Amino acid sequence: MEQSSWDFWVEEALLKLESLKLLRPIRPIQLSQKQETEKKDDEEYDVFNELQPWDRSAVEVSISESFFQQWLRGDDEVVWRDDLPIDKDNANQKKLKKLFLFCGNDFLGLSSHPTIAKATAKAAKEHGMGPRGSALICGYTNYHRSLESSLADLLKKEDCLLCPTGYAANTALMVAIGSIAPLLAAGKKPSKEETIAIFSDSLNHMSIIEGIYLAERRGGVEHFVYRHCDMSHLNELLTSCKMKKKVVVTDSLFSMDGDFAPMLELAELRKKHGFLLVIDDAHATFVCGENGGGVAEKFNCERDVDICSGSLSKAAANLGGFIACRKKWKQFIQSRGRAFIFSTAAPVPFTAALHAAVIVARKETWRRRAIQERMREFHALTGIPITSHLISIVVGTEEEAVQASRYLVKSGFYVTPIRPPAVAPGSCRLRVTLTAVHTTDDIKRLVTALSNCINFQDISNRHSNLLAKL
């Protein structure tokens, strides 16, 4: 089967929507006479060549001394109860305990960048907050369009669709893809031949899984789960599947394990089986690749990825999601992706901030280099083999993970334990995230603290065995 088959099916689905008068256009509202993204040299977007003092606020946080002591005692239920009165120490900014954050998703440290703050304030001052409604009604502006264009350009796709969150992006995408079979079946139950086969990695993010479940409930989708990053198993499933419409969806970088999907092998299987390749690049966009184009750029396979979804709440340090794809797919998803259709558009200041973040992330290449350097330092000091800025240190039981986390907090490091249901019982872990604004000294002190609560050799062996199985 040639890859053009999916182009034909989505075009047929678009024609069907048009005949039913269900094709939904997006009409941007022009909020200003001059679009900020059309500035030739991006004069208004100041960028910097090295770490600045304000960057450190992305990884230096404080909690009140009283909460700190409760945490060390193991009074988790007391610490995190939301019916307690405001802590007076915290309210008065007194007796605060400083912690270094090593579990956040602000990978590039952009949450405190002055250029992004300036863009946010400027848009809020000129236009207020908004939005006026959902994107399909009247909430879509030239600011939203500019952001979509910049993301499409970064990810080497024809177009891009903004969504309220990364979670909504994946559910909207899966539901839209799943709707093709019932739509082309013209009101009848899709036959086995018309059904869409979706193949999903066993460790995919819950947003993908939820989206597939929603699509299944509407009929026309059959779901296959392949073993984590096991291309032999995926090939077996694809070979035995007799359905023509095949989709493979995978996280590009798995957040709880820190490993990459085998992109080059997926590209080869795509050529062999003609499936639609969908990746969720939430943890890699802006971080991986020379320009921040994500995992597809890192492995030089942008042309092999048909649709790329992602989050704007991680390296972009804001809120939102996106689906980068061909124009015909965007038109279809915005007409059938319910999580997009029935959600209010992002406020204009948020959108202006995100556009500034795209520019800053692309130009300040030192941030990506800094992450790579922190990775090398962590590996050299611990011997733990790592492949990304997401480091999964599996310690075993829930109690062991909690005790290790509590020791790190006592040592001045904010690293929360990852427990069920986020991970399987017996595989509780510390999830350490390295950022561009951590320093060499931060890494050394973190490793010293870690060495007192875990055995690096045991962790290293466990990681090596896991990598050998992949």
Task: Tell me: pLDDT of 467 over 60.
Answer: no
pLDDT band with cut points at 50, 70 and 90 for residue 186: confident
pLDDT band with cut points at 50, 70 and 90 for residue 462: low
**What pLDDT sits at residue 265?**
98
Note whether 302 and 152 are within 8 A (CB).
Answer: no
Task: Tell me: pLDDT of 167 over 80.
Answer: yes
**What pLDDT sits at residue 413?**
97
Q: Residue 199 carries which side chain, given as an amino acid letter?
A: F
**What pLDDT sits at residue 281?**
98
61: phi then psi, degrees, rounded to nearest 5: -125, 165
**What average pLDDT score do residues 80-98 get?**
59
Coil, strand or helix at 225: strand
CATH architecture observed for domain 114-363: 3-Layer(aba) Sandwich (3.40)
Note whether 308 and 272 are within 8 A (CB).
Answer: no
Lowest mean pLDDT among 14-28, 37-51, 144-158: 37-51
- Tokens 């909430």 correspond to 139
Buried residues in 55-75 as b, exposed as e (16+ CB within 10 A): bbebbeeebbebbbebbeeee
Lowest mean pLDDT among 68-77, 80-89, 250-259, 368-377: 80-89
Note whether 164 and 207 are within 8 A (CB).
Answer: no
For the chain, percent of residues with pLDDT exceeding 90: 77
d(CA 21, CA 17): 6
d(CA 380, CA 448): 13
Strand partners, 29: 141
**What average pLDDT score do residues 243-272 get?**
97
What residue spans in the chain does CATH classification 3.90.1150.10 cover? 86-101+366-469
pLDDT band with cut points at 50, 70 and 90 for residue 36: very low
Residues recorded for the chain: 470
d(CA 413, CA 59): 10
First CA to last CA distance, the chain: 28
What residue spans in the chain does CATH classification 3.40.640.10 cover? 114-363
- Give the pair of three-digit tokens for residue 311: 């989050």
pLDDT band with cut points at 50, 70 and 90 for residue 32: low
DSSP letters spanning 22-52: -------B--SSS-GGG-TT-TT----SS--
- Rounded to 10 deg, the angle between the 166-178 and 327-336 helix axes is 90
- For the CA atoms of 419, 422, 427, 431, the dihedral, rounded to the nearest 10 degrees, stands at -80
Sort 245 into a burial class: Cβ within 10 Å, 0-12 / 13-18 / 19+. buried
Q: What is the mean pLDDT of the chain?
A: 91
Task: Tell me: pLDDT of 222 over 80.
Answer: yes
d(CA 429, CA 420): 10
**What pLDDT sits at residue 78?**
47
Q: Tell me the pLDDT tens digit for each residue of 52-65.
A: 999 999 999 888 88
Q: For the domain 86-101+366-469, what is the CATH code?
A: 3.90.1150.10
Task: Tell me: pLDDT of 183 over 60.
Answer: yes
Task: Tell me: pLDDT of 208 over 70.
Answer: yes
pLDDT band with cut points at 50, 70 and 90 for residue 401: very high
Task: Tell me: pLDDT of 210 over 90.
Answer: yes
**What pLDDT sits at residue 31?**
84
For the chain, percent of residues with pLDDT exceeding 70: 91
Note whether 247 and 278 are within 8 A (CB).
Answer: yes
Lowest mean pLDDT among 93-102, 187-196, 379-388: 93-102
Global confidence as pTM: 0.91
Task: Tell me: pLDDT of 132 over 90.
Answer: no
Q: Tell me the pLDDT tens digit for each residue of 4-18.
A: 799 999 999 999 999
pLDDT band with cut points at 50, 70 and 90 for residue 40: very low
**What average pLDDT score do residues 418-437 get?**
94
**What average pLDDT score do residues 206-235 get?**
96
**What pLDDT sits at residue 63?**
86
Q: What would you report as the CA-atom Rg of the chain, rounded to the nearest whole angstrom?
A: 23
Closest to 418 measured CA to CA, from 165, 68, 203, 103: 103
d(CA 35, CA 29): 12
**What average pLDDT score do residues 240-266 get?**
97
Coil, strand or helix at 186: coil
Query: Hey, which of 62-71, 187-196, 425-434 has the most confident mean pLDDT?
Result: 425-434
Coil, strand or helix at 120: helix
**What pLDDT sits at residue 87?**
54
Task: Tell me: pLDDT of 362 over 80.
Answer: yes
**What average pLDDT score do residues 335-361 get?**
97
- Tokens 């492949």 correspond to 387
